Every structure is written in C-alpha cells, then in structure tokens.
Structure 1
C-alpha cells in the first residue's frame, strides 16, 4: 500500500513542478517565457498605460529599512539579483571548468566580448554626440542577453556545431561580468561606506563558509539576503552582490558529494530566475506606448538612435571584429568546425541587449520617464532587429551546411 503522502494529487503536482523546472532550465523555454512577459507588458501598456504605470510604480516595503521601493525597483534591484547570481555561477564554472579555464581557448571569446563592449559604446557616443544627457547612456548597448541569444540560437540553428554555442555562451558570460562592473563603477551614487563594508564582510563570510565546506541552505540564504540588503542600502546596485555571491560559490565536488554547491544552486535557482525573476522584470520594464511619436523617436532622438546603432551595428562589428583580429594576430584560433560566416551570424545575436540593457537604461535615465521609455523602445527594436537578422543568417548557414553534407 502506498503511503498517504504519495497519493494523488500530491505526486502529479510534484511531478509537474519538476517537469516545469526542468523545462525552465532550457534556454528556449526561458526565452519564450521572457518574450511572453514582454509582449504582455506591451499589450497592457498600449491598452491602458495609466493602469500599467500605476502597477509598475506601486510602492511596497518597510520604510524604516529604506526598502519602500516601487515594484519596478524591486524587480531591478531584487529579482535581477537572482539572475546575476546565476550569471556569477556561470562565470565561475567557465573560469574553472569551461572555456575560460584555458587561456588559449579563452582568448577568442574574451577578446570578442571586450571588443563587443567597447565598439558599441563608441558608436553610441558618436551617434548621440551633443544630445541632452547622452553621456549617461553609453553603457546601454554594451550588454548581451544570454537567455534570449541562446534561445534564438537553439530555435533557429540547433544543428550548428556545439563550438558556436560555446563561443556565444562564453563571450556573453564575459559580457555579463563587464556589465556588472560598469554598473558598480559608473552607476553608483551616494555611497555609504559603512553599509558597503558590512555587505562586503557578509559576502566574504559566505565565501569563507563555502571554502570551509559548511553546508546548509538555511545558513546561506539569510546570509545572502543580509548581504543583498547592505549592498542595496549602501548605494551600490544590489545586483553586484548577486554576482559576487555566485563567484564565491564552490564549483569543486568533494568525494562525498554528487554535485558541487554551484551545480546544486544552479539546478534549483535557474528555474526561479528564468521562470519568475527575469519575466517579472521584463513585464515591469518593457511596457511602453508604441505610437507614431515613440516609433519616430527611434530616428529623431539621437540617444535612442545611438542605442539601436550600438546594439545592431556596434555589437556585430565589435564581436566579429574582435574575434577576427584575435585570430589574425595569432592570439587565438577558430575551431575547425566553424566558418567566419557562422561567426558573423552569432555576432549579430550579440546585439540582443534586452535584460541588462533595460537595467542600465533604467539606471541611466530613470530620472526622465519620457527618455527612459524612448530608450526602452530603442532597446526592444534593436533586439528584435538583431534577432531577425541573426535568425535569417543562421538559417541560411544551416541550409548550406546540409547541402554541403548531401553533396559529399
């Protein structure tokens, strides 16, 4: 006889939850959920912008702790910390076990990623030169959205060599590390050194406990929340705490363990990030009114035009040019499985800014709602253009590869 705890509906519910969580670990599903949230935000904002804005700007949280924030701020400073914690885990894994563990292999994606941050920023500044507050937004086109980019690659070109996905993932991981560094250095105001020092001490304690093999989620969870709080109230963007905690999570497996703490954390937290944190952030950040005025602003507002040019053109030139130059100078080599046309297609994918670009756009122009909405429109338009162009080129590459194999 089965135990009472195992009878329906408990077992189907658990099985369904596990199936859902497993699906959310796949880039394709995560990208679809995020896209659905974005479309929902756009529909609501264009049907009733007042009610959407009222929800987005609703304040909740304890005033005494300085956490009476709008919902959109909770999404930016709270939920995205979960996303960046997962990004920190990915960076650590790449440095220890992945492509970044080998300097020769890492040179290609690292140089491509660095060039893919510098060139878009330069193009943005050139296009937006002289526009009011243009200098605040230079970092917006420097970021690549890992989830969306990998989702487009998985949907349109799953037959492409694994080396292409490895290049995109590794360069996007380096890109994320660069983006969070930019946020910490250039978008920090009113710094409270005492609060920051406490936050840093708590993050160091987390790392020390990881080093000492201390186990127990109920030790680390309160510690992580406290670290997040003190970094948040210090004036440094709280997502920095998420990346730092991810980087300090142990990636080595002991003899008594089936998987490392990093693998375990990724297994449980990635579905939360992909299925809730990022979609909610997208929903609360992407709702802009799409009318003739806002769409024409893409071409008339030089800041918005700079964002579009930086993401679509700058990312392509930076990533592809950086990869080509690193091979040309003998600093790296291209995998025998890949052709430069493949690299061109995946370089276009790097122009999908979305999550981090929306975050930086909000930090740069949050004081000016009209400009912030215009920049959001530009980010969405650029990400759509980059997605379509990359999907078309990737599809052509898949067909050409199949044709070449058939001829053999």
Structure 2
C-alpha cells in the first residue's frame, strides 16, 4: 500500500538533524519544534496548536503542566527543598509514601512495600526481574507474545519486538515466550496451555522465577488480557511457586479506567512495576511494589544514583491528592472512556468491516490491518493539528492516548480530526492501490 507523503520538516528542525543522534523517533512523525503545552494541547514555535493524543506515551495522564502540580513543585523548589538525596530520607519521600499507602493501597486492600530504583520503566522491570530471581533462586521468566517491557538488555529479553531485540546484538536468554490471551484466537486457552507445559517436566520450559505481563499491551497492539486469563495466571503462579509480575507502566495511573489495570480482575500480583504517569507531571520516576515477603534485597544490593526523584515525589503526591482522594476524577474518566468507545466504534464501522476497535479504558485504538495505512492516517492527523501514533507488531493500530483530563470540547475536536483523517486517507487513490 502506498504511503502518503510525509509532512515536510519545518526549518527549525535543522539543528536536531545536524546534532542529534539518528536514533530519535517520535520527532520524525511530528516535524515541528514545540514551545509550550497545557493539558491536551501542544503549541509550536509558530503558534500553531496541536491536540495531544499521545500524552508522552501515557506519561502525561493528567495532561501537560497541571496548575496544582506546577504550584506544588514551584513552591518546593523556591523553598530549597532537597533536589537530590540518593535514597536518604526526605520529607518529600515520606509524604509520598504515606499518601500512596493511604490513598491507593489501603482502599484496595493491597499490602505492598515500595522500592525506588532508576527513574525509567525499564529500570523498574530490571529490578523486578532481579528481585524475582533472587527470591525464588530460579532464572527462567515467562513472558508473552507482543509484550513490551523496555530495551535495556534484561527487560529486552522479555520484550517481543523483533527489531528492538535484534538491535541488542547480544544473547537474550532466561525467558520462555508463551502466547498472550487471544493470540491463537478465541478457541485457545493460553493460560491452560502454560499450566500444562509447566506441569510436564519434559516440556522444555524450566520452572519459572516469575510470570511477567501487561494487562493491556500498549506497544504490542492494544491486546487486552481478560479477567479469567489474569485470574488463571495468578493461580498458576501460586501453584508453581513463581511470582506474578504485572507491568503497569503504561496502563497504570488511571489509564485503564482504574488506578491499576489489574483491579477489575480482583488479583493481587506479587510485584507491580510503575513509571510513566507515576510522577503526574512527566518527571522521570519509577517504582516497584512488592509484597512484604518478597522484600529480600540487602542494603544497596540493587541501587542507583537517581533512585527516587524528590521533585517527582512532590508532583506525584499532588496528583494523588487532587485526582484519587475521592472518586470524582475516576467517574470523569469513565465518561471519557464511554465517549471514546462510541466515537472510535463509529469511525471503525464507517471505515469498513476490516477495521476493528481494540484496547480498554483510555487506551483504545483502531486496527487498520496495515502499518502503512495506519501511519498515513496519523500523518493526515498531524497535518490537521493532531498528535497521534501507531502501535502493534506492524504498526497497524491507530492508538489514542489522550490525557485523562482532556476537556470534552477538545476531545470531541480531536476525534473529529481523527475521523476526517480516516476519511481523507481511505478515499485517496493510494489507499486502494494493491500492495
């Protein structure tokens, strides 16, 4: 399928082309220089506004520059609050720990200890895998098709994307790959398949230290784990003395509709990895939650210079107080989820029977069946003032990751642009050309 012409880069991007590494990626889809941002709108140097349906890949669930988080951060900086403190005790950390426990954990009946490591999602996954292996004395980890857990070598071994894995140029081992829920279609019970293989000592799969998965596969194509699948995996982990690790880095902090993406299934994972919107403000910050009996690292056995970002502690606490102390925000998210589902269903139906809705919560998209077609739709959206990207093994999904706080008027306008973009690409002569 012929791809539409890429939007030409503006003159201001020349500096980046000359001085920045070619590894840069998102900027290739959005070739303009952004200057300011507020909630769901980015503004470039020329003063043009773009509705943000990417939100830092779900790192900005509460939008850009939330005024209350900004005020808390400015006040903290102005008062000479501790910026960097390794893992020493700080007032900002203590306040976050108490607030997260009070606002998030206790109301959900969860008993977890919090561990801070390096500030990225991959850092959290690396820590979780290392902890599981230490706790169990085993090496093997069960990961799933189309899973994405980061591109550092340990996390990459559990990531499915072939291109990213190939870039490592090293052996990625100690992981056994199993089919995710629905990978083989509705008639195949992937969880039972895993249980059968773990029970058979001749299956070739070693007893695992952990079972690692996302409840909603963000980069893998918006595949969704069902309630029975997650519940069965929890049973399997218990039966085989493995730890269940939920990677809630992209789907967490309200993106699924609940604070945790696993809540609806009523399970209690052994370890939960968190990052992205954990800070609330887009600041680098990650954390793993672990059941107390799994807190087996000795002092400094897993460490890092930037383990716990004090500025992020401040904004994360402000986010918890503002959005999660009551159920008002969650109800507003539910309204947006219903509206998003309705609009995307309509766009998919109008596009044709080969287009289908995927995902859950505020993490939904349309499967176009073609990476070239999905990319062309996103390009058409950018030309019209919309920031939106693709996902999936072939980039075939047009994925909506709007801020959870997006104003309904802006949300409607952005989805109108998306509908126009679908229509413009599908009626173009190139869209019906034979591949």
TM interval, short-chain normalised? under 0.3
TM value normalised by structure 1 = 0.24
Higher strand proportion (structure 1 or 2): 2
TM value normalised by structure 2 = 0.23
Higher helix proportion (structure 1 or 2): 1
Higher RCO (CA < 8 A, seq sep 6+): 1
